[in-house]
Amino acid sequence: MNAIFRLINPRSVAVIGASADPAKTSGRPVAYLRKHGFEGAIYPVNPKVDAIAGLKCYPDVASLPETPDVGIVLLGAKRAHQAVRELAERGTAAAIVLASGYTETGSEGARRQHELLEAAGKMRILGPNTIGLVNLTRNIPLSASSALEMEHFPRGSIGVVSQSGGIVGSLLSRAAARGIGLSTLVSTSNEVDLDLADFMDFLASDEATRVIALYVETIRNPEKFRVAALKAARAGKPVVAFKVGRSESGARAAVSHTGAMAGADQVYDALFRQTGVIRAERFSDLLDIPAALSTARKLQGKRIAILTSTGGAGTLVSDALGLAKFETPAPDSKTAERLRALETGDHAALDRNPIDVTLAGLEPDLLRGAIRAVLASEQYDALAIIVGSSSLAAPDLMAGAIKDCLPDSDKPVIAYVSPYAPHIVAILNQRGVPAFTEPESCAAALDAMLKMSDVRTLPPSSMRIAPIPIPDFPENALDEAEAKQLFSCFGVSSVREEIVTNIDEAKVAANSLGPKVVLKLLSREITHKSEVGGVAVGVSSDNIAARLHEMHDSVRAATGRAPERYLVQEMVSGGVELILGFHRDPLGSTILLGMGGVTAELFKDTTMRLLPMEGALSVDEAFSMMRELKTWPLLDGYRGQPKADTKALADAIVAFSNMVAQLGGRLVEAEINPLFVLPAGQGVLAADGIAVLNTVATVAG
Amino acid sequence: MNAIFRLINPRSVAVIGASADPAKTSGRPVAYLRKHGFEGAIYPVNPKVDAIAGLKCYPDVASLPETPDVGIVLLGAKRAHQAVRELAERGTAAAIVLASGYTETGSEGARRQHELLEAAGKMRILGPNTIGLVNLTRNIPLSASSALEMEHFPRGSIGVVSQSGGIVGSLLSRAAARGIGLSTLVSTSNEVDLDLADFMDFLASDEATRVIALYVETIRNPEKFRVAALKAARAGKPVVAFKVGRSESGARAAVSHTGAMAGADQVYDALFRQTGVIRAERFSDLLDIPAALSTARKLQGKRIAILTSTGGAGTLVSDALGLAKFETPAPDSKTAERLRALETGDHAALDRNPIDVTLAGLEPDLLRGAIRAVLASEQYDALAIIVGSSSLAAPDLMAGAIKDCLPDSDKPVIAYVSPYAPHIVAILNQRGVPAFTEPESCAAALDAMLKMSDVRTLPPSSMRIAPIPIPDFPENALDEAEAKQLFSCFGVSSVREEIVTNIDEAKVAANSLGPKVVLKLLSREITHKSEVGGVAVGVSSDNIAARLHEMHDSVRAATGRAPERYLVQEMVSGGVELILGFHRDPLGSTILLGMGGVTAELFKDTTMRLLPMEGALSVDEAFSMMRELKTWPLLDGYRGQPKADTKALADAIVAFSNMVAQLGGRLVEAEINPLFVLPAGQGVLAADGIAVLNTVATVAG
């Protein structure tokens, strides 16, 4: 039996350092196990006490009558490793270490944490610095969280993994208050051994779990995360993640000079997107979205009916849904007729949406009739019901009517509760109707339901390409011509150009490359050519001699060295300028696509993908990157402009990502900027670029 | 005594159509008046009943023993106007009409609503279709909202005016649950007479009110709103508004062809900004922000200390604050030393922010010491305290410590409550510590506190300019040259240009206007010149003849009419392209400034101001518009480019707005697109524009 399974479903639990005082943190785990009716064996271990709450207390791990499945270690950081060693020696499946004072406190703590791992040997560790876990499905609390003071667990189908212990308490108490049911709740914290991905993997095959919610601070093993997330997706279990650290993104800016436009947080976006993980934007979404997804009802479109008895709140929800690009069309004539037949009152608004039955319509038969009419309508993909202040006196009225009608349809039904009425929210959630107290939460939940239908049909995100032979390149930075030669080996074509060393050669090149050309300094050392006067655009052959002289002097003045080589390039016009770059992030190698030009730069109009584990990005993925750019219309024929050659751009993105995949750790830096995308059928052209290579791969791809 | 004052502070209330059954809507007002201890006279009026709840019941208004200050009319829409007439005849100050069935139901309802107004004569009306009002300060509920079932009102200093009755119930019950105190709560709904602005004006001079919260559906009288909002600002009372209908902005797009980029919702933004009203982005902000502002503590900067006993929630709040551009610097060495001296425990993190005292630090003396140390530090402008799950067992611990320390400092102190703990939230709010349950709410509240310091120093937004004489212009659309002539009368200069009618004239003009020129069709009828081939850019004098021929043929083919006149213009290069436009909105005349070019257009990079009531926009206001553009850096010398002539741009904005002000209803349409802003010192140049004039003013300016 798998150690993680035994950790979450133990038949016996040893509590090392248990206190007889249930008010102390070290007294809580035994107290909670008993309070919530754990049916297995509980072995408190404490040499100073004989019994705790009627349970025999053992002096040490060696004295235990059997090998426990799990050991909860409540000792401080200075002694925890000893208990871990003893548990490991007895063959315990897993230890939960609550002590703090490890990596989070500095180098001495890091040493202790390493000691803990060594002491564990083959035994698995949850923690340290964890608040533990709770298996709500089987009433097994292995935790000291004071949120467990509650009488009954909110049992359900949402599995939660959190990298913070305090957040576990917050989510548990909030879920309980709202009637949102959880299956298992784990705090992984320092993750010396077991991490987020291990538990996501477990929950993906856990029968009690239908949706997985993650509170993420950092992903320590991105590959494992990707594998586990894709396993959950294949199992049809949505994964919802809330990640903190978004505002530190600036500080962790990319190394490459324009890659700096995309911070590391954007890489998390890419990771989540590529693995079908739904990103929760607000902390409250981390319960709201799973609550909606746990109904397993599928949202097939964007047309939402709003049924209300109070105009104000209906408008509020309608507005929030509209901002999230949902539609709230008026009922079709057949549905309006069915609604009118209910005779809900003089001033009911039944031909509009929100459909307002008014206070007069708050009667069980009328409500059922209205709900059934709307659910049966082909006009709507989902129903949002408003619960108004009038329900305070009859909390069950709306919930009862909805519950009666739910079996008639498989469309999503959600509720917005307008007054402060936590008991109504709880009743609705418990009856399978996700209920929200913020209009924006209704929109976030429906949005996630819509996204889930996409996840089930994730396009192939990677493709394998046979290795491409490339010539020898010098070590370190390539010059611009070499960089473009490298890109073209993989299939990204460049502007026509010639390397020249003197005025005569420059004139010949200028004459052959068109009426006007670009003249550039060519150098492996100087990457920021324009800053030293090393770029001249729109030069005619008549004045190329003068411009070359000028450039020579300017570069020499700025760098102290006279340039020896220049590049004469054709001028490109009529295309859309993009940036295509590579950037190495702690989460993996990334491919960045961005719109070029200063305006797009100010709007940070970029998108990113992690290099797939299996090879290059697929053509589908390349197209999905383009469509994510806010300036995608510029590629798609904006305002009568010709459509750009997006097919060639997709091929270039695939080719560039294949280069990154094939070169692996040998590639240090690479960027094409600008990449001109010409009108459809005319291809793309790299007009400038940089590349830095190691001769030997020093970093894993 | 003012009628609105009497409406909100009545000494006597007649309830027309009162029912003896307190469960009925028509039974509630009398029941609530008694339940909450109204001290004045209550006169139920109902010919079918002798007494209600021990109160003598009168058969009609005429029989009342005195003239009531207020009449609550509970009759249906078909009879309400009769009661209104009777109340008016008795000299009642104001009637509250609850019936629905008026403008919200169509033309017959609109007729009834007009009838109501006529019946009222000099008496003021609140409603119809209102749920009434509640004076919480003096325990006077004049409402049928079932939210009034509560035992005690949450009394405080926030005055609420809502255009929806249902929202009043929602806000009242939510405020009560959270311990947020209100002064007066009014639902204005159909606003046949008294509107949002009337009550804002009242609350601006109401002693019990410190902050005004508005729930806005539409502003029917923008000028009155502006006057009332500015009165509140002068009184130092922040106004916070949440407005629905944001997603309908697309449908209410502007009339002018590029003005369509700015929807009507953006005009509300402008109105709120120009009157110092803080716009609540989310519905929950409508209580959260006033709760923070009602403490009257001023936030002087962006540096926030976060004090926590639990790492996870501290990080969460830190992240939310960071996203909102707040800073969370580590404690200075002196403060860190003071914190360390408290000896809060081994693993406390006292040299970072969040400052984590850990569970060991949850002791009253330690907490007080830590709070005092942070409040005394010059490093911080405000303190955010995290209340963790551990507080569930000791709800008063943190609240007590904070309360003890509040008098020591005038810096803002807010709290984030991590577990579900409404009682702790209420305790904190009641003790003057705004407490929030969402990390994003902490950021929204602090952000509003920061904005309030700006409001108190609103720059002069308007300036008066002496009338400018202008020549006669034709009626209807002007041609491009005339439009620019009009703009230049007011002080916006244009590119040099000449009107030509044949090839010879065109050649002469081209030679005089530079090596390359722009050739355009000149017409009053054809405004979309480029769509009919009527614009040629970069034309040299050599080929102006050919281009003119081509244009002639193209325009004739497209429009069936041969062009008679052309415009030859100088080419402008090196400037930043903007759009400066005028747009008439239901809220007033607006001035739109937008970045030109397709990329900026895709990002809808525009900003707007309402034309001031007193004249043109001020230079300060013009600068503040520029700085709101996301592409402002392009004007401010981005990436080594020269700074643009923002002073000349500000003058152009002022001049354009002065034109709009002076022409008033005579101006139908006006837009400069593009307006080139040249490098500093070189001015601005209108390169194209449209203007449409009426000879007679038909619309009020």
Q: Beta A140-143 vs A132-135: how paired, if at all? A: antiparallel
Cβ of B170 and A419 within 8 Å? yes
Nearest-angstrom CA–CA distance, B235 and A240: 47
Tell me, yes or no, if B515 comes closer than 8 A to chain A by beta carbon: no
* Chain CA centroid to CA A114, Å: 29
Cβ of A283 and B439 within 8 Å? yes
B:113-152 residues touching chain A, CB 8 A cutoff: 145-147, 149
Nearest-angstrom CA–CA distance, A676 and B311: 48
CB atoms within 10 A of CB B76: 15
What six digits make up the tokens of A457? Answer: 């049909």
Nearest-angstrom CA–CA distance, A10 and B123: 76
Return the half-sphere exposure (C-beta side, CA atoms, 13 A cut-off) of residue B461: 22
**H-run or E-run covering B86:** helix B80-90
CA distance B695 to chain A (A): 35
Continuous H helices in B153-195:
165-178
What six digits make up the tokens of B258? Answer: 């590029």
A-chain residues near B633 (CB < 8 A): 602
B-chain residues near A392 (CB < 8 A): 146-147, 149, 173
Q: Beta B41-45 vs A667-677: how paired, if at all? A: unpaired
Nearest-angstrom CA–CA distance, A590 and A609: 5
pLDDT of residue A550 exceeding 90, the answer is: yes
The pLDDT value given to residue B579 = 97
Tell me, yes or no, if A664 comes closer than 8 A to chain B by beta carbon: no
B:63-102 residues touching chain A, CB 8 A cutoff: 100-101
Place of tokens 């069980």: A364
A-chain residues near B319 (CB < 8 A): 244-248
Tell me, yes or no, if B167 comes closer than 8 A to chain A by beta carbon: yes
The pLDDT value given to residue B700 = 44
Cα-Cα-Cα-Cα dihedral of A562, A568, A573, A579, to 10°? -60
What's the mean pLDDT when you consider all of chain A? 91
The pLDDT value given to residue B344 = 72
- The conformation of residue B274, written as its DSSP 8-state character, comes to H
Cβ of B310 and A166 within 8 Å? yes
Tell me, yes or no, if A330 comes closer than 8 A to chain B by beta carbon: no
What six digits make up the tokens of B423? Answer: 């009682």
Tell me, yes or no, if A540 comes closer than 8 A to chain B by beta carbon: no
CA angle, A489 then A490 then A496, to 5°: 55
Dihedral class, residue A284 (left if φ above 0, else alpha if ψ from -120 to 50, else beta): alpha
Tell me, yes or no, if B104 comes closer than 8 A to chain A by beta carbon: yes
Nearest-angstrom CA–CA distance, A591 and A657: 7
Which one of B169, B319, B389 has the shortest CB-CB distance to A245? B319
A-chain residues near B358 (CB < 8 A): 100
- The conformation of residue B69, written as its DSSP 8-state character, comes to S
Question: Pick from B192, B229, B681, B203: which is nearest to B455 by CA?
Answer: B229
Nearest-angstrom CA–CA distance, B679 and B640: 12
Q: Which residues pair with A415 in a beta bridge?
A: A385, A435
More confident residue, B400 or A88: A88
Q: What is the pLDDT of residues A467-505, one digit of tens each?
A: 999 998 988 899 999 999 999 999 999 999 999 999 999
Q: Which long-range contacts (CB under 8 A, 24 or more apart) does B55-62 make?
A: B55/B30, B57/B18, B57/B20, B58/B14, B60/B86, B61/B14, B61/B16, B61/B86, B61/B87, B61/B89, B61/B90, B62/B86, B62/B90
The pLDDT value given to residue A630 = 93
Q: What is the pLDDT of residues A121-143, one digit of tens each?
A: 999 999 999 999 999 999 999 99
Which one of B246, B322, B358 has the shortest CB-CB distance to A323? B246
Which one of B177, B284, B603 has the shortest CB-CB distance to A630? B603
Q: Is A409 within 8 Å of A377 (Cβ atoms)?
A: no
Cβ of B100 and A420 within 8 Å? no
Backbone angles phi, psi at B578, to 5 degrees: -130, 170
B-chain residues near A316 (CB < 8 A): 167, 244, 283
B-chain residues near A169 (CB < 8 A): 310, 388-389, 418-419
Cβ of B313 and A167 within 8 Å? yes
Nearest chain A alpha carbon to B386: A166
CA angle, A224 then B317 then B426, to 5°: 130
Interface residue of B163, B420, B423 to substitute, partner A, most A CBs within 10 Å: B420
C-alpha dist (Å) from residue B661 to A433, B464, B622, B664: 55, 10, 15, 5
A-chain residues near B438 (CB < 8 A): 282-284
Nearest-angstrom CA–CA distance, A45 and A82: 13
Dihedral class, residue B425 (left if φ above 0, else alpha if ψ from -120 to 50, else beta): alpha
CA angle, A55 then A59 then A65, to 5°: 65
Classified as helix, coil or strand, B579 is strand
Q: Which residues pair with B677 in a beta bridge?
A: B576, B684
Burial class (CB in 10 A: 0-12, 13-18, 19+), A388: buried
Nearest-angstrom CA–CA distance, A72 and A66: 15
**Going by C-beta distance under 8 Å and a sequence separation of 6 or more, which residues neighbour residue B214?**
B160, B161, B162, B196, B200, B239, B240, B241, B242, B277
CB atoms within 10 A of CB B365: 9
Nearest-angstrom CA–CA distance, B275 and B610: 10
Tell me, yes or no, if A244 comes closer than 8 A to chain B by beta carbon: yes
CB atoms within 10 A of CB A698: 9
Lowest mean pLDDT among A76-80, A213-217, A263-267, A401-405: A263-267
- DSSP symbols for A98-110: ----SGGG-HHHH
Cβ of A147 and B393 within 8 Å? no
Nearest chain B alpha carbon to A437: B284
Interface residue of B74, B168, B244 to substitute, partner A, most A CBs within 10 Å: B244
Cβ of B602 and A633 within 8 Å? yes
Give the relative orientation of helices B222-234 and B264-274 as an angle to the nearest 10 degrees. Answer: 30
Q: What is the pLDDT of residues A434-449, one digit of tens each?
A: 999 999 999 999 999 9
Tell me, yes or no, if B603 comes closer than 8 A to chain A by beta carbon: yes
**Going by C-beta distance under 8 Å and a sequence separation of 6 or more, which residues neighbour residue A560?**
none
CA distance A164 to chain B (A): 5
The pLDDT value given to residue A253 = 26
In the chain, the amino acid numbered B471 is P
Tell me, yes or no, if B319 comes closer than 8 A to chain A by beta carbon: yes
Q: Which residues pair with B496 in a beta bridge?
A: none
C-alpha dist (Å) from residue A60 to A18, A48, A123, A288, B212: 11, 10, 18, 44, 65
Per-10-residue mean pLDDT for chain B, 701 residues long?
Answer: 93 97 92 96 97 95 97 96 97 96 88 96 96 97 92 96 93 96 96 97 97 94 94 94 74 30 74 94 97 94 93 90 92 94 78 85 89 96 93 83 92 96 95 96 96 66 87 90 97 96 95 94 88 92 94 94 94 92 92 90 92 92 95 91 96 97 94 96 96 69 39
- The conformation of residue B391, written as its DSSP 8-state character, comes to G
Q: Is B162 within 8 Å of A418 (Cβ atoms)?
A: no
B-chain residues near A393 (CB < 8 A): 146, 149
Cβ of B146 and A638 within 8 Å? no
Dihedral class, residue B529 (left if φ above 0, else alpha if ψ from -120 to 50, else beta): alpha
A:247-276 residues touching chain B, CB 8 A cutoff: 247-248
The pLDDT value given to residue A37 = 94
Q: Beta A12-16 vs A41-45: how paired, if at all? A: parallel
Cβ of A169 and B419 within 8 Å? yes
The pLDDT value given to residue B251 = 34
Tell me, yes or no, if B110 comes closer than 8 A to chain A by beta carbon: no
% of chain A residues with pLDDT over 90: 78
Which one of A147, A165, A312 has the shortest CB-CB distance to B312? A165
Q: Is A417 within 8 Å of A424 (Cβ atoms)?
A: yes
CA distance B602 to chain A (A): 6
Tell me, yes or no, if B602 comes closer than 8 A to chain A by beta carbon: yes
Nearest-angstrom CA–CA distance, B3 and B624: 40
The pLDDT value given to residue A459 = 59
Cβ of A599 and B25 within 8 Å? no
C-alpha dist (Å) from residue B281 to A80, B287, B444: 49, 12, 9
The pLDDT value given to residue A454 = 61
Q: What is the pLDDT of residues A171-206, one digit of tens each?
A: 999 999 999 999 999 999 999 999 999 999 999 999
Which one of A313, A346, A638 has the shortest CB-CB distance to B598? A638
Label each residue of A558-595 as H, E or C: HHCCCCCCEEEEECCCCCEEEEEEEEEECCEEEEEEEE
CA distance A275 to chain B (A): 24
Label each residue of A427-491 as H, E or C: HHHHCCCCEECCHHHHHHHHHHHHHHHHHCCCCCCEECCCCCCCCCCCCEECCHHHHHHHHHHCC
Give the relative orientation of helices B311-323 and A165-178 as an angle to the nearest 10 degrees. Answer: 80
What six digits make up the tokens of A220? Answer: 């320590």
* Chain CA centroid to CA B85, Å: 37
Tell me, yes or no, if A600 comes closer than 8 A to chain B by beta carbon: yes
pTM above 0.90, yes or no: yes
In the chain, the amino acid numbered B576 is V
